């Protein structure tokens, strides 16, 4: 199995993706965007991502996964060339479907390859390495995005991201390995696995939605409160990147821990506990006027985000067949969660309070536990 090539591709692609997703809202702010407009950026990209992830997941079970991954990288390069040439917000919004489409070709195909090639004994560790590296890439992308835009400018930063996509096209495996669709023999009853699959998908929706909301909306709260640690060319934007880095570094640590601890896999208490952490972290981030208190919330947020994602992808791939299909559904739910920034932006604009996105994230995390428990008790 070419696990290290898959994991390295995930690292590089998520690094460049979140460099893009850091600088795009900053560019939008330069074009006069408000909270609602920032939410629209995510929503337009996600609308394409939801529909096409389901389609591409099924295609990935039949077509050449390496070819599809390279098409996704080519679309990302196109997006990086187009964004700097948008001189108005409507033009920037028009580029967002390309960004969403790039991910639909990349992620379901890559995850489906891991699921199809993993043995039952190695599935959790293989997913764990994949999760650690994509999350590390995401963390570094958030950390670097704002600083690169400050120091280099918009266009050079996005050209560097395009170079990362070109590198993935070069080192990603060129041929599929034979699919082992019947290789996973689940150790858990089918009805139990089905309920945990739905629980994992709900967790993924809330977790990714909360992470996307923070990445999309928190810059507004930072600017409103002048949040900074006093360094950087633009201290507020530097703090924004540092806060996101803290969230996703914590998520990466969670992935490293659960990779070697299989005790969480079919137990509800660790899953529910992580959602309580997510709710607590969102509340603290929303009320914190002190930058150090805001940074102290990031480990709680990282726990919630990390467990939500890993539960969803693990339960999606712990199945004897259809790894691309279930990976596509997992990614479609990621896209559905990406609409949360739009709802958060509407709430912030309508109620005139930039804290509402964080109340919304906390309420969803706690409400999800109630829904998940009802699913568990259903027969």
| Mean of per-residue pLDDT scores for the chain | 87
The pLDDT assigned to 1 comes to: 54
CB crowding 271-295: b at 16 or more within 10 Å, else e: bbebbbbbbbbbbbbbebeebeebb
Task: Please indicate, yes or no, if residue 182 is contained in any of the structural domains.
Answer: no
- pLDDT > 90? residue 57: no
> How do residues 277-312 score in pLDDT, each as one tens digit?
999 999 999 999 899 999 999 999 999 999 999 999
The CA radius of gyration of the chain, in Å to the nearest whole number, is 19
Q: Which domain holds residue 249?
A: 3-171+190-377
Task: Please indicate, yes or no, if residue 270 is contained in any of the structural domains.
Answer: yes
The pLDDT assigned to 180 comes to: 52
Average pLDDT over residues 158-163: 95
Q: What CA–CA distance (Å, rounded) separates 379 from 372?
A: 13
- pLDDT > 60? residue 179: no
The pLDDT assigned to 186 comes to: 54
Q: What CA–CA distance (Å, rounded) separates 294 from 18?
A: 21
Average pLDDT over residues 10-34: 91
Judge contact between 99 and 25, C-beta under 8 A: no
The pLDDT assigned to 196 comes to: 92
Task: Please indicate, yes or no, if residue 178 is contained in any of the structural domains.
Answer: no
Q: What percent of the chain has pLDDT over 70?
A: 96
The pLDDT assigned to 61 comes to: 78
Per the structure, the count of domains in the chain is: 1
Quickly tell me which residue has 């389609």 as its tokens. Answer: 55
Residue 85 structure tokens:
């040439």
The answer for 79, left when phi > 0, alpha when psi is -120 to 50, beta otherwise, is alpha
> How do residues 234-243 score in pLDDT, each as one tens digit?
788 888 888 9
Q: What CA–CA distance (Å, rounded) separates 98 from 86?
A: 14
- pLDDT > 90? residue 60: no
- pLDDT > 90? residue 17: yes
Q: What CA–CA distance (Å, rounded) separates 271 from 195?
A: 13
Q: What percent of the chain has pLDDT over 90?
A: 44
Task: Please indicate, yes or no, if residue 86 is contained in any of the structural domains.
Answer: yes
> How do residues 326-366 score in pLDDT, each as one tens digit?
788 888 888 788 778 878 888 888 888 899 999 999 999 99
> How do residues 96-132 score in pLDDT, each as one tens digit?
999 999 999 999 889 888 887 877 778 888 888 998 9
Predicted confidence band of residue 244 (pLDDT cuts 50, 70, 90): confident
The pLDDT assigned to 168 comes to: 96
Task: Please indicate, yes or no, if residue 64 is contained in any of the structural domains.
Answer: yes
- pLDDT > 50? residue 183: no
The pLDDT assigned to 210 comes to: 93
DSSP string across 38-76: HHHHHHHHHHHHHHHHHHHHHHHTTS-HHHHHHHHHHHH
Predicted confidence band of residue 161 (pLDDT cuts 50, 70, 90): very high
Angstrom CA distances, 183 to 93, 123, 125, stand at 43, 11, 16
355, burial (CB in 10 Å: exposed 0-12, middle 13-18, buried 19+): middle
Average pLDDT over residues 248-261: 89
The pLDDT assigned to 322 comes to: 65
DSSP string across 220-231: HHHHHHT---S-
Q: What are phi and psi of 170, to 5 degrees?
A: -80, -45
End-to-end Cα spacing for the chain: 38
Task: Please indicate, yes or no, if residue 177 is contained in any of the structural domains.
Answer: no
- pLDDT > 50? residue 182: no
Task: Please indicate, yes or no, if residue 185 is contained in any of the structural domains.
Answer: no
The pLDDT assigned to 69 comes to: 95
Number of H helices, E strands in the chain: 14, 0
CATH of the domain at 315: 1.20.1250.20
Task: Please indicate, yes or no, if residue 300 is contained in any of the structural domains.
Answer: yes
Q: What CA–CA distance (Å, rounded) separates 147 from 35?
A: 22
- pLDDT > 90? residue 323: no
Judge contact between 59 and 182, C-beta under 8 A: no
If we measure between CA atoms, which residue out of 9, 5, 8, 21 comes closest to residue 248? 21
Judge contact between 307 and 368, C-beta under 8 A: no
């Amino acid at each position: 199995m070419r696990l290290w090539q898959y994991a390295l591709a995930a690292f590089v692609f998520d690094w460049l993706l979140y460099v893009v997703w850091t600088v795009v809202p900053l560019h939008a702010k330069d074009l006069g965007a408000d909270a609602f407009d920032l939410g629209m950026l995510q929503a337009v990209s996600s609308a394409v991502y939801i529909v096409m992830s389901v389609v591409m997941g099924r295609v990935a079970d039949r077509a050449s996964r390496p070819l599809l991954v390279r098409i996704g990288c080519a679309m990302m390069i196109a997006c990086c060339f187009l964004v700097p040439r948008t001189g108005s917000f409507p033009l920037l919004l028009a580029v967002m479907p390309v960004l969403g489409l790039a991910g639909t070709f990349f992620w379901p195909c890559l995850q489906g390859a891991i699921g199809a090639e993993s043995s039952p004994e190695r599935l959790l560790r293989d997913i764990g390495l994949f999760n650690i590296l994509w999350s590390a890439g995401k963390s570094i992308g958030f950390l670097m995005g704002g600083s690169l835009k400050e120091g280099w400018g918009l266009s050079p930063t996005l050209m560097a991201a395009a170079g990362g996509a070109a590198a993935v096209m070069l080192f990603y495996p060129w041929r599929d390995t034979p699919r082992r669709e019947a290789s996973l023999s689940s150790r858990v009853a089918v009805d139990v696995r089905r309920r945990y699959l739905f629980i994992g998908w709900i967790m993924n929706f809330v977790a990714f939605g909360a992470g996307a909301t923070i990445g999309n909306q928190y810059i507004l709260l930072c600017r409103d409160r002048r949040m900074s640690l006093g360094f950087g060319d633009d201290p507020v934007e530097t703090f924004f990147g540092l806060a996101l880095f803290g969230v996703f570094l914590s998520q990466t640590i969670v992935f490293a821990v659960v990779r070697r601890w299989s005790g969480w896999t079919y137990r509800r208490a660790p899953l529910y506990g992580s959602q309580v952490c997510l709710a607590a972290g969102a509340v603290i981030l929303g009320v914190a006027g002190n930058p150090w208190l805001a940074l102290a919330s990031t480990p709680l947020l990282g726990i919630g985000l990390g467990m939500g994602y890993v539960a969803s992808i693990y339960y999606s791939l712990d199945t004897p067949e259809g790894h691309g299909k279930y990976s596509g559904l997992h990614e479609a739910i990621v896209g559905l969660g990406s609409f949360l920034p739009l709802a958060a932006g509407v709430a912030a604009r309508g109620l005139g309070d930039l804290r509402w996105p964080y109340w919304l994230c906390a309420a969803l995390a706690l409400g999800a536990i109630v829904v998940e428990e009802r699913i568990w008790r259903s027969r």
